[in-house]
Amino acid sequence: MVSVTPHGDNVSDLTADTAGVLLVRLRYSVRTCACLALVAWLIPLTATAQSVRDAIAGAGLGSGYAQMLNLASTPDLSSAQYKVKDDDPDTTIGLTRIPYESKWVALTPTTDLYWRIAGSHFQMEDTLTVQVFEVGGTVDSRWTAWSATAGVYTSTELGSGFRIQPALDFGFARLDNSGSYRGPAVDLRPVLDGLLFNWNMYAWLVTPSLAMEWADVTPERRMRIRTHAAYSWIQSFDESNRVLGFRENAGTYSVRGEYAAPTGLRIMDRSVDWVGFASYGGFFGGNRGALGFTTVSEVGAGLESPFDKGNPLGQQVRVSASYLFGPSIRGWTVGIGLEF
């Protein structure tokens, strides 16, 4: 909760005072990496609308916006429903990503070229509470991102079950914010609308990445361990307000292990395997804590069956459930997907 005692006697003073404190609270909500105490010094409670605008422009909130787009566009953290836990009301994050890939051409006897595409949806919600003269008000804030990526990668067999996969992806995204003011917080609308709440922007992403994989596949079982790291250059454009513009870098990484074996069941003339998996992933770089967490672990299990019954060791249709956890974060996911 943000408690505000205005220094002036009219609504304009109350708005400026509340806006100053609320920016500190929102900066914490967006989980930028800068020190909150420093931001508080930069935003005096008697700030005018212009000084609030200047403070927002210099606050570096773009690092949080970039991390939202990075999370949506890279595959290191699973599609899931997350709750970021701290001393404030939990922040909720919903992430859905739908990928597809296919072999393009064989470059050499040991190297194949693949193309891939993916679409994603990201949503993050938080409530900022303001108390003025013991009367509570809130701003309900929602960030929503849509992204589409396309790219290519090569897969080279190194022997003994190892392969290396360098990749390059290009992405396009839209990020919106919608804010609803309630109670005394309504007085903030003229100062904060278009700057912290109720805005939109577009962004492009360029993401090189590298994966290393080891697999041991037999009719009796399948084992796989995969490591992956990606680093994105992200730049906004066509912002509804120029103050929102940013150019940032963001990195993700993950390690994932899987084990699958037959259940003895068959569906539609296809074998059914059980599968267990675990992973550990997170962010790296200067803004790695921008969303309030840096690492996530996942444990899960499911059932899978070949997509093509003539190729039982190829692509698998998987139904699974998993639990995700880490410092300050919990999550879960249940879904169906195509494993490549």
Angle subtended at Cα 136 by Cα 135 and Cα 139, rounded to the nearest 5 degrees: 145
Whether 31 shows a pLDDT value over 80: the answer reads no
Higher pLDDT, 305 or 170: 170
List of residues 6+ apart from 43 with CB closer than 8 A: 20, 21, 23, 24, 51, 52, 55
Determine the pLDDT at residue 19. 39
Whether 174 shows a pLDDT value over 60: the answer reads yes
- pLDDT tens-place string over residues 57-101: 777 788 889 999 999 999 888 889 999 876 556 689 999 999 999
List of residues 6+ apart from 7 with CB closer than 8 A: 13, 17, 45, 46
Domains with residue ranges and CATH for the chain: 2-339 (2.40.128.130)
Model's pTM, two decimal places? 0.82
Structure tokens at 221: 């079982």
Q: How confident is residue 178, by pLDDT bands cut at 50, 70 and 90?
A: very high
Tell me how far apart the 2 most distant CA atoms of the chain are, in Å: 79
Determine the pLDDT at residue 49. 58
Determine the pLDDT at residue 276. 97
Q: Contact 104/114 with Cβ under 8 angstroms?
A: yes
- pLDDT tens-place string over residues 221-277: 999 999 999 999 999 999 999 989 999 999 999 999 999 999 988 888 888 999 999
Determine the pLDDT at residue 138. 81
Query: Which among 288, 281, 269, 266 is positioned nearest to 322, based on CA atoms?
Result: 281
User: What's the whole-number average pLDDT of the chain?
Assistant: 82
Of the spans 32-36, 93-97, 217-221, 304-308, which averages the highest pLDDT? Answer: 93-97
Candidate from 46-50, 84-88, 130-134, 225-229 with smallest mean pLDDT: 46-50
Determine the pLDDT at residue 218. 86
Calculate what percentage of the chain has a pLDDT beyond 70: 79
In this prediction, residues 102-129 reach a mean pLDDT of 93
In this prediction, residues 126-143 reach a mean pLDDT of 75
Determine the pLDDT at residue 1. 44
In this prediction, residues 52-61 reach a mean pLDDT of 74
Alpha helices in 95-228 (DSSP H): 189-192
Q: Contact 323/311 with Cβ under 8 angstroms?
A: no
Determine the pLDDT at residue 50. 65
Whether 116 shows a pLDDT value over 50: the answer reads yes
Query: Which among 185, 182, 181, 178 is positioned nearest to 199, based on CA atoms?
Result: 178
